[in-house]
Structure 1
Amino acid sequence: MTAGTAAPTTLRAAVPGAAGHAPSRPDEPTWAPTRALGRAVLITGVLLVAGVLLGRVDLIVLAVPFALGTAYALHRRPVEAPRIGLAAEDGSLVEGGDVTASVAVGNPDRTGYDLVLVRTVVSPWLRLDRSGFAADGGAPGPKADGAPEGAGGKGADRPFALGVPAGTAEAVELAGEALRWGRHQFGPAATRAAACDGLVTSRLVVSDSLPVRVYPVTEPFDADEAMPRAAGLVGGHRSRRPGEGGELAGVRIFGPGDRLRRIDWRVSLRARQLHVAATLSDRDAEVVLLLDVLAEAGTSGGIGGTASVLDTTVRAAAAIGEHYLHRGDRVSMLEYGPAARRLRPATGRRQYLILLEWLLDVRATPSPYEPYDQVFGPHLLSSNALVVVLTPLVDPRSAAMLARLARSGRIVVAVDTLPAAAAPPQRGPFTDVAHRLWRLDRDNTIGQLREHGVPVVGWAGAGSLDLVLRDVARLASAPKAMLR
């Protein structure tokens, strides 16, 4: 099953290139009589008994059509229960892209089903409706995983009716839009069939659910400034350290260990002393994306609505990781939270695919305990890496973590992911005053971090980190004062 992955024109997709049935109890019948069958038997029996007791032939004649009709309808009673299966697109789905899915109902019996009712559970972040019908995007839908009211609507959250002839299968085709990144669920789906002119009905058959992966979309991101430090042997960013490479750093006097092919004969003849061309080594940079998942703030409205802290964090991490991986640098990811998940540093397209898959499991997990402290260990966090911390600076432990990284001598850049419109719900007359005081205290914390050498910049898409990386690179390459 295929579907387009068209995203809004202002966004660029950050995308890499049948279920079982619910087990029934042994004593549960596959088909059960309905109230219609009970009424038909009751009417037939009453008319026959009344005709015999009262000696009235007309009552017996009236009972004959009911008896014949019921017997004719039941002469081919179905035996097998209906089959149900789900199918959903599991490819390069992105926020704002098209999603297609289907619910198939099969009839393995020799008797056709008069009516089949199908209903499925759909994630509120998947706006699906039957093909050919408009999705009811404005109707309130169920809330799940922080979804706001009306996120998913009730397009597919209603029964669908269809008829299934004997030995065939019919499918309900659903189409719509993926509203938000993450791992969503399509299903489970349930069906019940009626046969024999509605006189018998099958037991409820329930299918398993299917996972649907939706990748985040990212605003175009580009950082033109050089990396502050580099430690690898490949990549697009040149190092600021002397060494073998193709970037000319100047001309210096020949010294022991210099290669003859590096001699600059023109300068040597003019100075009457051997000079060699000095170069900068070609090295890659290691970028560590540290995601603060201690708190969530704001309301997620999907691709067309407001962005929460997690939305900004995931989309920014995907954009930054894609940029540096495209340049051949090594990218790793860490979670600052109770789980302390880690993605090892690597390069290439395979790392990009793993990065996107890793981001789908990002969740805000508040914890009263100190987060896993070993993320600051030298075996996990290289001293030469550029550490980009995506944090809302809501929890006081986040500012302490940034200060600790700066004191360890690492190059740290903090990206503020708190939405500007994030505000607590109105609970009392002093809520606004308390929120303003909290904002002032947070601004004071940001100012203290900047004084300690931790630049804090808000995420604004392309070029967000250019000015910060330029200043950090200059500080990293500046000569250090030494005591004698």
Structure 2
Amino acid sequence: MTGPTVPMATEPEPAAGWAPTRALGRAVLLAGLLLVAGVLLGRVDLIVLAAPFALGTAYALRRRPTALPQVWISEGEDGPLVEGGDVTAAVSVGNPDTVDYDLVVVRSRVSPWLRIDRAGFALDGAVTDMPPAGTTPTGTTPTGGAAPAGGRGRSIADRPFVTAVPTGTVADLELAGHAMRWGRHPVGPAGARVATAGGLLVSRAVLTEPVRVRVYPRTEPFEAVEAMPRAAGLVGAHHSRRPGEGGELAGVRIFAPGDRLRRIDWRVSLRARQLHVAATLSDRDAEVVVLLDVLAEAGRSGGVGGAASVLDTTVRATAAIAEHYLHRGDRVSLLEYGPAARRLRPAAGRRQYLTVLEWLLDVHVHPSSHEPYDQVFGPQLLSSDALVVVLTPLLDERSAQMLARLARAGRFVVAVDTLPTNLTAPKNQGWAEVAYRLWRLDRDVMIGQLREHGVPVVRWAGAGSLDQVLRDVARLATAPRVGGR
């Protein structure tokens, strides 16, 4: 990953941003002392001894730098990046000056969720593995050892790396590793300092802004084969209760004006001595509203393959549900139950799925004492025929009240419990363990009350998580409904 060739500086300018090093001070001081001592003492040998220091310093400073190095960060061109996938980036240092950079020290910060395993310099297309500064070169790419669980250990990219950059060229510090968690993860800020003129001059630190790498959530396997409670669109894969042109047989009826001839059931017509046609149900799409409860967080994220927090489960389950229903031709919209009240309009197709993934990257927990119900469920924002899938840890009483209000309003609501199963009571902290057990009992009572209100509560478990509950909701949709909206 080599950047473009840096153009040469044509007009010399004052060396702004460059400062003498201690080596230059020592060389000038030593040469001056030897020359002064030789003149005062009349000793030619001291003058001869000072000559190499004076001539060497003058020769090194014969061509002084006129431009600072250029630093930028570029992201790898590997297409959409998903959790667990390979991530590549490069910190590039360009030399636009007329003199060579004898030593370049590059250092960059990298998000702890981007576990960088390999780092090496590339100069004019030739990759050279370089060890971090202060280590012994071994001829291999430094590994930095195993990171702690969750990928939150110190990355080898956080250490300084050194190289030399000839005039008019670019050196790329190649970074390669794995993306451990969804989100927008920064690579950078990065900085570089340059020494030239034999190490007698050093530049100030040149910094560049970070580049954020988009890592999409890994879609967990999910499949729901049950029919939607109420399909309302014009086209789709679900069989509605309305007669129309579809593939589901609804019965046989007498021929009426407007019926197609290919629908005539000749066996029944000959037996009844009157034309009969086969009646079908129309195929219609459905609207699925995925509501993300972002009022509270629990658990600790371990990245891909590790423990999942409430936010991890919420985002990955949302991506899986959206992918499933969008693949079936349904319309999917997203809502945040929180003070921000972010929403994504309902749409269908592949483009909507990519929009959903992009929207999920900005999901964050927003604790607030404000009741967001009226702000989230404004007038005409939620279709009466939509299936509302609420992803909630049920840690806040307002979440339970929201579910109950939706059920009383006659909505088709399914609550998905996203609380991690590996939560344990704190040990050796007084009454903390007893309080934890009481909280668990209170939460179980709350879930029971929600089920009494007609809100099914299921735990997210990947494939088949919602099949049974969707079957119950579809059966309830055909029953007489009581309650106002």
Using structure 1 for the length normalisation, give the TM-score.
Answer: 0.88
Q: Residue 480 of structure 1: CA displacement?
A: 6.0
2:119 match? 130
Q: Deviations over 1:161-183 (max 9, x none)?
A: 00111222111111100011011
1:187 and 2:169 aligned: no
CA contact (8 A) 2:410 2:481 kept: no
Aligned mates of 1:300, 1:137 — CA distance in 2: 21
Describe the SS at the equivalent of 2:81. Answer: coil
Q: Deviations over 1:21-44 (max 9, x none)?
A: xxxxx9993211001111111111
1:95 match? 83
Equivalent runs, 1:252-401 vs 2, <5 Å: 252=253, 259=259, 261=261, 262=263, 264-271=265-272, 275-401=276-402
Aligned mates of 1:130, 1:195 — CA distance in 2: 24
2:24 match? 37
Describe the SS at the equivalent of 2:406. Answer: helix
Describe the SS at the equivalent of 1:80. Answer: coil
CA contact (8 A) 2:151 2:180 kept: no
Describe the SS at the equivalent of 1:281. Answer: strand
Q: Residue 53 of structure 1: CA displacement?
A: 2.4
Aligned mates of 2:15, 2:294 — CA distance in 1: 47
CA contact (8 A) 1:114 1:193 kept: yes
Q: Deviations over 1:326-373 (max 9, x none)?
A: 010111110000111111111111111111111111101101111152
CA contact (8 A) 1:117 1:193 kept: yes
2:137 match? none
Q: Residue 302 of structure 1: CA displacement?
A: 0.7
Q: Deviations over 1:264-288 (max 9, x none)?
A: 4533453466654332121101111
* C-alpha spacing 1:362/1:27, structure 2 compared with 1 (3 Å): farther
Q: Residue 113 of structure 1: CA displacement?
A: 1.2
Q: Residue 198 of structure 1: CA displacement?
A: 0.8
2:124 match? none
Q: Residue 430 of structure 1: CA displacement?
A: 1.4
2:132 match? none
1:5 match? none
1:23 match? none
Which shifted more, 124-133 or 182-191?
124-133
1:467 match? 468
CA contact (8 A) 2:150 2:180 kept: no
CA contact (8 A) 2:14 2:66 kept: no
Q: Residue 110 of structure 1: CA displacement?
A: 2.0
Describe the SS at the equivalent of 2:334. Answer: strand
Q: RMSD value over aligned CA atoms?
A: 2.5
Q: Deviations over 1:424-443 (max 9, x none)?
A: 76582211111111111111
Q: Residue 137 of structure 1: CA displacement?
A: 5.6
AA at the equivalent of 2:119: R
* C-alpha spacing 1:480/1:108, structure 2 compared with 1 (3 Å): closer
Aligned mates of 1:461, 1:134 — CA distance in 2: 38
AA at the equivalent of 1:386: L
Q: Deviations over 1:273-324 (max 9, x none)?
A: 6654332121101111000011111101110211111110111000010000
Q: Residue 154 of structure 1: CA displacement?
A: 2.1
* C-alpha spacing 1:92/1:150, structure 2 compared with 1 (3 Å): closer
Which shifted more, 28-37 or 459-468?
28-37
CA contact (8 A) 1:240 1:477 kept: no
Equivalent runs, 1:18-97 vs 2, <5 Å: 29-89=16-76, 91-97=79-85
Describe the SS at the equivalent of 1:156. Answer: helix
Aligned mates of 1:83, 1:153 — CA distance in 2: 26
Aligned mates of 2:145, 2:232 — CA distance in 1: 51
* C-alpha spacing 1:411/1:149, structure 2 compared with 1 (3 Å): closer
Aligned mates of 2:389, 2:363 — CA distance in 1: 17
Describe the SS at the equivalent of 1:351. Answer: helix
Aligned mates of 1:134, 1:50 — CA distance in 2: 50
Q: Deviations over 1:388-428 (max 9, x none)?
A: 00001011100001001101111100111110113476582
AA at the equivalent of 2:144: D
CA contact (8 A) 2:288 2:331 kept: yes
CA contact (8 A) 1:340 1:372 kept: no
2:131 match? none
Aligned mates of 1:149, 1:326 — CA distance in 2: 32
AA at the equivalent of 1:120: S
1:11 match? none
Q: How many corresponding residue pairs?
A: 453
* C-alpha spacing 1:174/1:266, structure 2 compared with 1 (3 Å): same
* C-alpha spacing 1:170/1:459, structure 2 compared with 1 (3 Å): same
* C-alpha spacing 1:134/1:68, structure 2 compared with 1 (3 Å): closer
% same residue: 72
AA at the equivalent of 2:477: A
CA contact (8 A) 1:30 1:79 kept: no
Aligned mates of 1:414, 1:360 — CA distance in 2: 22
AA at the equivalent of 1:99: V
Aligned mates of 1:451, 1:27 — CA distance in 2: 80
Describe the SS at the equivalent of 1:86. Answer: strand
AA at the equivalent of 2:295: L
AA at the equivalent of 1:116: V
2:105 match? 117
Describe the SS at the equivalent of 2:82. Answer: coil
Describe the SS at the equivalent of 1:219. Answer: coil
Aligned mates of 2:218, 2:150 — CA distance in 1: 22
* C-alpha spacing 1:370/1:477, structure 2 compared with 1 (3 Å): same
AA at the equivalent of 2:159: R
AA at the equivalent of 1:109: D
2:441 match? 440
CA contact (8 A) 1:284 1:329 kept: yes
Describe the SS at the equivalent of 1:63. Answer: helix
Q: Residue 226 of structure 1: CA displacement?
A: 0.8
AA at the equivalent of 2:89: A
Using structure 2 for the length normalisation, give the TM-score.
Answer: 0.88
Aligned mates of 1:427, 1:120 — CA distance in 2: 41
Aligned mates of 1:149, 1:99 — CA distance in 2: 16
Q: Residue 474 of structure 1: CA displacement?
A: 1.5
After superposing on structure 2, the runs of 4+ consecutive aligned residues of structure 1 that deviate more than 6 Å are none
Equivalent runs, 1:230-269 vs 2, <5 Å: 230-252=231-253, 259=259, 261=261, 262=263, 264-269=265-270
AA at the equivalent of 2:105: L
Which shifted more, 369-378 or 45-54?
369-378
